[in-house]
Structure 1
Amino acid sequence: MNTAWTWTFDRYDPKTERVVEALCTLGNGRFATRGAAPESPADAVHYPGTYMAGCYNWLPSQVAGKQVGNEDMVNLPDWTRVRYRCLPEDGPAGEWLTPDDPSLRHHRAVLDLHAGTLSRRMLFQDGHGRRLGVTHTRLVHMADPYLAAQQSTFRASGWRGTIEIQSVLDGDVTNAGVARYRALNGRHLTGHRAGVGADGIAWLSCETTSLRTRIGIAVRTSSRPLAAVTLSCTEEATAQTLPVADLPRTSRRRPQGSRPLQLAGSTRGRSAHVCGRTRHARTGLRDRARRPPGRLGRPVEPRRGKGAR
């Protein structure tokens, strides 16, 4: 149900998901992030994307045997990606869950225009009655033009075992959101470097291919209760895997009895009924040649060119 300050999408439909992603974009005048589900990589249904005001790049492409140039607003590394799956004690490991999984029983996305947040609530249930509830809440900060945050809540019921969660900072992204432009070269980023510091902050740097706009993104992921973190890095991505073990078997009638799980990056506390908050990401989108960001509520004017794709 929609109100003056909230837009609600009560069901998941792959045919209209990209429209929902576009309508639920969050931004602050410096950068904006599409409202894509954090579980899903770019594919025919989903298109996660983050764009910075004024960050354009020119690329040559071969079209019908001729070389043409195209200029795009660059799709930046994806800071929102979270993957998770269930590892029950009494069964095989589950698949990495997404809204496209057949075990999805409920889905709702809510854009709160007053608070500036996007929330997604999902419920998964397999054929053995094992249930997992997931809630994501995302914001792009208005006061700090380089800051964004995402919180994820997990609650298991009807089974005992482990939830394996993976927080990913992904630099292997392209501009491929518009079908008629997919024949054009969409790889605008190069020179990737990635790593995880001793303080657990994952970082990734790269630059655009022609204008050499330098980009840096850092992501802090923490958990409550504390969980051992396994780190892995490639040149274009970092992944932090947190296995949260020994989840008790709980009754569907008493979901409050399940063990709380928190992946936290914000300082705002929640009661034990809130089971997760995943990632507080500072997006240090630095441009060596552009003007500084405008004041709060006043976006930087991008230079002329094609829009985001």
Structure 2
Amino acid sequence: MNLSNKERIELHNFNNLTKTLSFNMYDICYTKTKEEREAYIEYIDEQYNADRLTEILNNVSDLIGAHVLNIAKQDYVPQGASVTLLVSEGPVVEVPTESFEETPGPLPNSVVTQLDKSHITVHTYPEYHPYEGISTFRADIDVSTCGEISPLKALHYLIHSFDTDIMTMDYRVRGFTRDKKGNKLFIDHEINSIQNYIPEDIKQQYQMIDVNVYQEHIFHTKCKLRDFDLNNYLFGYTKDKLTKEEQREITEKLVMEMDEIFYGKNINEDD
């Protein structure tokens, strides 16, 4: 079925399509000593503890018009945190026209539509290299909705909420719903790329790769920061405290770490 962005299709009963956004982000840092590494992990655990993550997910819930039924949250030892929100249909019953357009969603200052049988989760994974001085922080967020709104409308806010060097985003529409004539509808909105839901100023900051399987309603986008400033990757000091050789060696390690994460494979230094 050929869909127009502005078109509203009359459905039989509730919209049963399930739309899932998986948002994965990485923050990379160089931590030369054990003390720096421990301080970085402590900083991340404080910055993105279960209470802060709950606040972020509550804002996501507001953005997609959900009512929170239950919250489960946990800070782990020695590091990391998880939060799960079970959500149901919110109080707003009118679906705005722009919810069908491939445009970036708002930051949390309005409620947009309805959904049911849905959940929002986040898990964090601070970790470090055993001897190369690299520490990373990863957060995985899943927003799964049933209803007319796409969770992609929360993507702008999620990017805004994390200090991100690398992002990987997956979006998939599952199942089917029926129109008033009983015809199956396997997707209810046009989508060409997840990139269309990211603001232009953010897209300019990242190198991006798309892998889309349109016939299966599967969309994948990954992003890596274009510009590299060593000062943004040193914890507690700046590059003027380092020799030129140290700056070069640390830069090579950080760039290799980001390339390996971005391309999803180990890079042989001898290649």
Shorter-chain TM-score tier: 0.3 to 0.5
In terms of fraction of residues, the more strand-rich structure is: 1
In terms of fraction of residues, the more helix-rich structure is: 2
TM-score normalised by the chain length of structure 2: 0.37
TM-score normalised by the chain length of structure 1: 0.33
